Structure 1
Amino acid sequence: MIRLSITMCKQFSLTFQAAEDVLLREALSKWGISKRTLTSIKYDGGSLLVNGQEKTVRHPLIKGDDVTVIFPIEEISSGLICQEGYLDIVYEDEVLLIINKPTGQSTIPSREHPSGTLANYVAFYYKQMSIPSTVHILTRLDRDTSGLVCLVKNRHIHHIMNYNHVTNKTYEAIVHGKVEQHMQKIIAPIGRKASSIIEREVREDGIFAHTDVHLISNDVHISHVKCILHTGRTHQIRVHLAHIGHSIVGDDLYGGDRELIKRQALHCSSVDIKHPLTNEMLTFTSPLPIDMKKVLVQSS
């Protein structure tokens, strides 16, 4: 059985325990340490320790040996501006950072929004806290969608979570019209609309997409729904809800009206994530923001 531990000082490190007699190289592969990571450790300032002594990947392990992988210090990406700003941190440990993102803030910089993004603020936070990592974002949100964003603090952890992680995201949305069904599955492929570089649509040659929609409350004009994503296509919830005739309030790209709110009324309210080191399932929640609450109150 693999024993995992974490230390966060000047460098990020992981400690494993050998479960059998095997070459260090083979054990590292079983523990998810990629060849690319090993190359970085070799040339960029990391090291491999067996029972406290530095060894090469050709070293033969004996069952019970402690293996410590010390990862190189990561530099903040050259194009990412460190910028001080408020972060609503929901949870933080040695490898995870969960943040509640407000509406109107981009997750990462772009040509249109090179500063003021969540990534800019996180880069500054890492620098102030001496966290030896660049910004690794596991889950993103559109600029005008509020709610939970998941980040990880190490390139290796990002790599293993991209390929072997469990993340269930739940969104709340306010939509036009009275949703009648208490639960419905929307399974409809999504692709880019031919006439737009931004807009998506349901189309036969699109990529498989699955959203479950649960009714929270409704009236004649609007409904409050919960959406659970089973896939992660661009604009998936917005496209799927418009496809069934219930565009999100405020989402003028997909048929929504902005009279009640000036952005799509969509919020990532819950995330279930399997911790990459302990395998514990963690649940994080975020309350509905004020602007969406006002829409519900005004319609009641």
Structure 2
Amino acid sequence: MNTVTKSWRVPPEASGQTVRDFLQKRADFSRQLIKRVKTAESIYVNHEPASLKQKVDSKAVVTVYFPEEVRGERMTPEEGALAIRYEDEDVIVLDKPSSVPVVPSSHHEGSSIATRLLHHYDKHSLSNTVHIVTRLDRETSGLMLAAKHAYSHRLLTFGKSRVDRFYTALVKGRLEGEGVIETPISRKPGSIVERTTCADGKPSKTLYTVLESDEQHTLVRLKLETGRTHQIRVHMASIGHPLVGDTLYGETEDLPWSGQALHCHELAFDHPWTGEPMSFTSGIPEEWKRYMMTCKY
């Protein structure tokens, strides 16, 4: 199995730091990750085994050989289609179809993006497990980002790496212009799935811009400033424009597809290792276009 290796050259301002301090302050390691590489005895300075207490000099090379990752008990590899848009040793960008869940759950034990990823990793002799960075609801389609290992996942979720998501949604009713929805969101009392807006919920912010509209529907572009569960669905319903096909927050409708009309059409982020800005786009599903044309006549 291939494992991930990362090396850093110690800058002058970090000279004299211990390996532990260097990994925490310069390489942005978590305490848990430091514990893992210490237990695996996989830390080297200038190609020699090193302890966390060892001090490093300017221009020294610190190398970490990340140990193989442990997969969860429910994570069983399953063969299945994956629309991979980009992949390297740190990240993988996928274009997810609707009706496929991202991870297995008590409500869906079948094939998922996560189990298909594990099969993909095994096929290429990778010891990776699944680290989802931008999760999509089961019936939401479009671009999503996963980290290939725990270190890149930390950099993308807790580090300085920028991750932006832009969505297209088809909502009910005529909506005009642009706006910001900042109503807090929390779990709906008595439900483990449904969310609702309420004054004492978690801060939430969604930006929207209308692309086109008629009397029945509006095609809208959205950007998430926060990442609450069902955020777009809850926010749009809260202003009287639920997503087409969203039976949880809207109304039942006979549609040529299942689930809500929500698609992540753009994903932009700074690569966790190189810092390079990366951007990907994806067109909305064809069935939306056919449905909108039908509604106009």
TM range (shorter): over 0.9
1:6 maps to: none
1:14 maps to: 6
Q: Is the 8 A contact 2:20 2:34 kept in 1?
A: no
1:236 maps to: 231
Could you tell me the TM-score, scaled by structure 2's length? 0.93
Could you tell me the TM-score, scaled by structure 1's length? 0.92
Is 2:174 the partner of 1:178?
yes
SS at match of 1:252: coil
Give identity over the alignment, percent.
34
2:265 maps to: 269
Q: Is the 8 A contact 1:76 1:123 kept in 2?
A: no
Q: Distance in 2 between matches of 1:235 and 1:178?
A: 22
**How far off its partner does 1:257 sit?**
4.1
Kindly provide the CA deviation profile for residues 24-59 of structure 1, in whole angstroms up to 9, marking residues without a partner as x: 22212221123322221132x351111211121222
2:133 maps to: 138
Q: Distance in 2 between matches of 1:60 and 1:247?
A: 58
Counterpart amino acid of residue 18 in structure 1: V
**How far off its partner does 1:284 sit?**
1.2
Q: Is the 8 A contact 1:46 1:72 kept in 2?
A: no
> Which of 157, 163, 182 in structure 2 is aligned with 1:167?
163
Greater alpha carbon shift after TM alignment, 102-111 vs 15-24: 15-24
Kindly provide the CA deviation profile for residues 44-102 of structure 1, in whole angstroms up to 9, marking residues without a partner as x: x3511112111212222111111111110113322211100010001111101011111
Greater alpha carbon shift after TM alignment, 281-290 vs 95-104: 281-290
2:68 maps to: 73
Q: Distance in 2 between matches of 1:207 and 1:33?
A: 28
> Which of 201, 204, 210 in structure 2 is aligned with 1:215?
210
Q: Residues 29 and 267 from structure 1, CA distance in 2 versus in 1: closer, same or farther, beyond 3 angstroms?
A: same
**How far off its partner does 1:233 sit?**
1.0
Counterpart amino acid of residue 258 in structure 1: E
Is 2:280 the partner of 1:292?
no
Q: Is the 8 A contact 1:87 1:121 kept in 2?
A: yes
1:82 maps to: 77
Q: Is the 8 A contact 1:46 1:71 kept in 2?
A: no
Equivalent residue pairs, number: 290
SS at match of 2:118: helix
SS at match of 1:131: coil
Runs of 4+ aligned structure 1 residues displaced above 4 Å come to: none
Kindly provide the CA deviation profile for residues 79-134 of structure 1, in whole angstroms up to 9, marking residues without a partner as x: 21110001000111110101111100010000121121100100110111112211
Q: Residues 196 and 39 from structure 1, CA distance in 2 versus in 1: closer, same or farther, beyond 3 angstroms?
A: closer
1:119-138 matches, cutoff 5 A: 119-138=114-133
Which blocks of at least 5 consecutive residues in structure 1 are unaligned?
1-8
Aligned-pair RMSD on alpha carbons?
A: 1.5
Q: Is the 8 A contact 1:248 1:256 kept in 2?
A: no
Q: Distance in 1 between matches of 2:105 and 2:190?
A: 22
Q: Is the 8 A contact 1:12 1:132 kept in 2?
A: no
Q: Residues 46 and 100 from structure 1, CA distance in 2 versus in 1: closer, same or farther, beyond 3 angstroms?
A: farther
**How far off its partner does 1:296 sit?**
1.9
**How far off its partner does 1:195 sit?**
4.0
Q: Residues 49 and 268 from structure 1, CA distance in 2 versus in 1: closer, same or farther, beyond 3 angstroms?
A: same
SS at match of 1:253: coil
SS at match of 1:60: coil
1:91-170 matches, cutoff 5 A: 91-164=86-159, 165-170=161-166
Kindly provide the CA deviation profile for residues 223-282 of structure 1, in whole angstroms up to 9, marking residues without a partner as x: 100111111111111111111111111111112342234321111111111111122221
Q: Distance in 1 between matches of 2:210 and 2:96?
A: 24
Q: Is the 8 A contact 1:134 1:154 kept in 2?
A: yes
Q: Distance in 1 between matches of 2:255 and 2:109?
A: 29
Greater alpha carbon shift after TM alignment, 113-122 vs 68-77: 68-77
